[in-house]
Structure 1
Amino acid sequence: MIVPLLSLAPGERGVVVDLRGGPNFRSRLYAMGLAPGAIVRVLENYPRGPLIVEAGGTRLALGKGMAARVFVRKL
């Protein structure tokens, strides 16, 4: 099932399948290691704060708007 990264609960994992945004958005995520095919695991999803994920052994903090435009296939 393909869902926004934002919808995953802490502990859930997914494979990035789509980045819905312009070239600057994609470039920024690629630089962070979030490219199609990357496996991500949600560590924290704060109600009024960022989504904390792990990708490629690196922890990243994503704003809600950004995380809503990263689509993953749940594992």
Structure 2
Amino acid sequence: MKLSEMVCGTEGRVTGMSRLAPDTRKKLMVMGVLPNTPISVVRVAPLGDPLQVRVRGVDIALRKTLAENIEVELD
């Protein structure tokens, strides 16, 4: 499933980011979004964009268009 499809409070693991542009993927990896890393959705803005996700104890705001290209599997 895609990260953008997860609801608040759910946890999963990143399985792939191959659909992202190389520069964007590299920036996310520097922030800790790596394959097999636990990720959870903390909050979604009222209009659905951006999402607040927690990775390795750090909260990151991601645009929905970015989250649509990150593959996750639920725990």
TM (normalized to structure 1)? 0.90
Deviation at 1:5, TM superposition (A): 0.3
Q: Give the number of the structure whose residues are more often strand, by fraction.
A: 1
Partner of 2:21: 22
Deviation at 1:37, TM superposition (A): 1.0
Aligned-residue CA RMSD in angstroms?
1.0
Whether 2:62 is the aligned partner of 1:44: answer: no
Q: Distance in 1 between matches of 2:46 and 2:70?
A: 18
Deviation at 1:50, TM superposition (A): 0.7
Deviation at 1:22, TM superposition (A): 2.2
Percent of aligned pairs sharing the same letter:
30
TM (normalized to structure 2)? 0.90
Whether 2:1 is the aligned partner of 1:6: answer: no
The letter of the residue matching 2:62 is L
Structure 2: give runs of 5+ residues left out of the alignment: none
Deviation at 1:17, TM superposition (A): 0.4
Q: Which stretches of structure 1, 4 residues or longer, exceed 4 Å deviation after superposition? A: none
- Deviations along 1:14-48, one digit per CA (max 9) or x if unpaired, are 10000021211210110111111110010012242
Aligned length, in residue pairs: 73
Partner of 2:66: 66
